Structure 1
Amino acid sequence: MALAACGQTADGRVRLDAVFDTADGLTAGQDVRIAGATVGSVRDIRLTARRKALVSMDVDRAFAPFRADADCTIQPQSLIGEKFIQCTPGTPRAAPLRNGPGGTPTVPLARTHAPVDLDQVLAALGQPVSTRVALLVSALGGGLAGRSDDLSASIRRANPALGALNRVLGDLQADRARLHPLLTQSDRIVAALARRRSDVVAFVARSANVTSTTAARAGRLRAAVRGLPGLLAQAEPALDDLGRLAEAGSPAAAALRRAAPGAERLTRALAPFARDSRGTVLALGALSSPGRRAIRATRRVLPRLDRLTARSGPVVDLLQPLTENLRERGAMEGLMRFFLYPTRALARYDRNGHYTGAYLLPAPTCELSIEDPANCSAHFDDRPAMSPTRRAAPQPRASRPAGTGHQAPPGTAPMLTSTGSQPVTPSPAIPPGSPPAATGDVNPVTSLLDFLLGS
């Protein structure tokens, strides 16, 4: 959430609030600084419902938005000068600063600091302390009387040190929230060390030995230290790459951490699996010798298979369109139906057992003859009945003895009759030399292919 979306002033700045325990000495119009540079000013100061100082500031847009780890400190410009607010916007990785009750991003009380003025410190001193301070100041005045030049030179020399000390104190003041848990943990560490004093003594003794050994090799260490700048300069690119790798690997490390419990359970489950699979592994080891012999035996076959593969190229080229045509025409489906229909017709069963189905096809009784009478439909396919003109060539046949059956008249083809039926007079024979009549019969192989191909 950007600050500009929460409160923008007429001059293009953004609004920012901060809650302090006290804003004594702070007035509207005083500076707001970031890293020592003035980036805004104090707008107004109000009192919250909890009796805290709510300071509203106008900050340049370039320094917005402030983050959740931002902090602000009221600092004096000098011992007796005006005050200003020193702020740190926070790190980019932190979340944006939350809005306060007024809808403006607000630095909470836990992230603000208000220093104690020097006059408050002096007012807290009792009578004995003030008397001693007066004696100290009088003694210092007597000792420094007539040495103003030396005092001035000492102050000028101490000015950089005092500035550095001031910055150190400011950093400590800004990190007060972090130093407090550090001191607390230090107390716990010291208490734990006190309970293990003997171990600490042993550690100190070993450290003394290490120190003496290090002192004996001071020359080598000095040479190593002199070579460190060059080593660090050469290692800087690698360290940069390592830093980028660490940043890129952070999501992977987080994912591995989430997957660690599952991996642990998997590792525990692998132990019984390994025990149970030991027999299988041993059996595979026993089969490895026959397997090697089989592989060696196949080496003689592989060249032949290679030559066969090279020679079967034209056959494959011919088979490819055939297989594609069979697939498009549904040959496999037709073949499956060819086996399915007889199977469904024969493999029937009910609650009593298996049975075989039969179909009765009623048809007029006709002679089983080499000719097809006009009124006979004794056929088992879908072709039309044969016409009376479709006759076979006459076949000579010896006459039967009397009483053994009907004899065909001379010049006619013999005829087979069914049991109990009357003889049928055949048609005249086809004259010799006449062209054979068209039979119209369907090839059974062609019918089967048409059935399989769905024709």
Structure 2
Amino acid sequence: MNRRRSSIAANPVLLGAAAILIGVVAVVLSYNANKGLPFITTYDLEMNVKNAKKLTTGVDVRIGGKRVGQVNGIEAVKARDGHVFARLALKLDQNIAELPVDTTARIRPRSAIGAKFVELTPGRSPQKLAAGGTIREARTSASVDFDEVTALFDRGVRDSVRDATAQLSYGFAGRGDDLNATLQALPDTLRRADPVFSNLADPRTGLSGFIRGLDSTLQAVRPVTPQVGTLITDANRTLSAVATVGPQLAQTIADAPGTLVETHASSLALRPVLRDAAALARGLRPGAQDIPRTVRALNDAIDVGVPVLRRAPVLGTQLRTTFGSLDRLVRNQSLPDTLNLLKPTSEALLPTLRTFVPTQTRCNYAGLFARNVPSVISEGDKYGNWFHVMLDVALPQFLRAGSPSPDSNFNVYNTAEQGHCEVGNEPFPAVRRIGRPTVDAPTNPRTPRPASEPEGPR
């Protein structure tokens, strides 16, 4: 009887102490549950992610949907290159130890209200991640949360989506059979759409650029949203009007394939013509490039020709007598014989003219000769006029010697064709010069117009 009373149940003090001890142990275990239970060996890893996506400690770590551990800590880390990332401490079960080094991790939503978990996908590498290893940032990712999608829209857009959803609900009302048929055909449709989605996912498709362009377009249209609404209302009227001519429109669509066939045949026939037109356009391109220079030349010609044309009436009056005499000459019976004799005469004069014309037109040698001849005999006395002649004589060029003169000069070529004119009094250069002179030799000065004469055409 005394032994029963000496037991713990019979002692209220011991019973209270045991209850307090059990409560403390329960509190300690519950407090440290997020860090793992004591006396249990775990497989610890670190995981670097670009964005922790509001992840909290204690969330599950799963492989294939099965819970294999939990997130034991989250820390913000600044890398050496300056960018910031989050480092997660994972405490995993020991039975999955030594995951492959190419294991990937992804932060995924657990529910629509913000709960998340970490999903691990083991790789196939023979190399393993030792305890304390790190899953690099390049092998981690995160899903887009529903709240992030809805945060892209402002209040006005959210209200519009709500209204559109309500209107769509009216459209689905009473159409349950059609909706069931659609859902039944959806898997086959999605399988057939796989090549389409593969093409869209290909970077060469440029879908991201299209979406960015569409976003820019919508941003540009946003300020004129009321006008767009009016446009849609007016389009409804237009489409209603088109609906009244449905049979005719259907006939047009039915005739479209034949029209396209004819158009294709016509394009094949027009292809050579278009090719020749393209070649013609390429051939005309150099001429088109010369048009501005030609226009400027025509403008200069017009500027010069206007004064000449203003003087043309006077010239025409003066030429009337000349043309009359020319007319009488043409009517003369001896003109053919004269012209027959003129041809051999011209052929005989042609070599002389080939030399004389550039000499006169470019250098005005005849005018210079006529100007200089009077100066030769311009002075004199009571016994008569004097001739002024200066002989440029170098004795070594006239006396007999065993070697030619080192400064002999002789020009046997006419240089008027090269634009070089000699005035007749050039000094002999101090070196031997046989043949045409250098281009920097003195040239004939331009004879100015007398002040009494009007300016003529250039």
When the two structures are superposed, what TM-score results if normalisation uses the length of structure 2?
0.29
TM-score by length of 1: 0.30
